[in-house]
Amino acid sequence: EEPQKKKFLLKFSGENYTEFEPRRMRFHRQDFSLEILNTSREDGQLYEYSVSKGPEEEVWQIQLEVFEPVADLSIRILHWELSNGSCSLALHCASERGDEVSYSWDSRGNGTRGICSGNGSFLNVSYSLRSAGFGCVCTARNPVSSRDVAFDSSQCGSEQ
């Protein structure tokens, strides 16, 4: 059976330490943290931190996850219908990039509570044209970022 190998990023002994990848990592001696510079997806892996005290060794394992931030958020009208002074819209909110993105909708402005509330990237909205002028805000978030984009309901239809 092949022996398991470990790749060391840093070794600390007494008052001295050696960084094995100084261009990729930065060790902060004041709080014993290790910073990964220019993080990439390949950095998402299992890391081990160990401290030797005489004949004993304490070991912690840390799983690092790397997420791409939410970017380039937009709202599209998938379907619209004008009937009896009412407008019905099917909206879709999407981010061009980002990992593990979740979406939520809310109203922007007063007097429109509930019209724009929802979870998920799709939202169906129906409103009277007399109450037009409210806004819906889509928020896309993941563990490292969030973005908002607004939809103005001032007109019903494909002109938007």
- For 25-82, write each residue's pLDDT tens digit: 888 888 888 888 988 888 898 888 887 778 888 888 889 999 999 999 999 999 989 8
Residue type, 39: T
Whole-number Å distance between alpha carbons of 18 and 21: 9
- The continuous run of DSSP H or E covering 102 comes out as strand 102-108
Say whether both 47 and 100 belong to one domain: no
Q: Which residues contact 147 (CB under 8 A, 6 or more apart)?
A: 70, 71, 73, 95, 139, 140, 141
In a domain, 18, yes or no: yes
Structural domain including 59 reads: 10-63
Report yes or no on 1 lying in a domain: no
Is residue 34 assigned to a domain?
yes
Predicted local confidence at residue 65, as pLDDT: 93
Q: Where does the pLDDT of residue 24 fall: very low under 50, low under 70, confident under 90, or very high at 90 and above?
A: confident
Q: Are residues 78 and 136 in the same domain?
A: yes
pLDDT-wise least confident of 17-26, 96-105, 108-117: 108-117
Contact (CB, 8 A) for 142 and 99: yes
Tell me whether residue 122 is in a domain: yes
Q: In terms of domains, do 57 and 115 share one?
A: no
Same domain membership, residue 88 and residue 54: no
In the numeric block, which tokens belong to residue 157? 């239809």
Q: What is the pTM of this model?
A: 0.72
Contacts of 52 (CB under 8 A, 6+ apart): none
Nearest alpha-carbon partner for 146 in 113, 115, 101: 101
Average pLDDT of the chain to the nearest whole number: 85
- Give the model's pLDDT for residue 121: 97
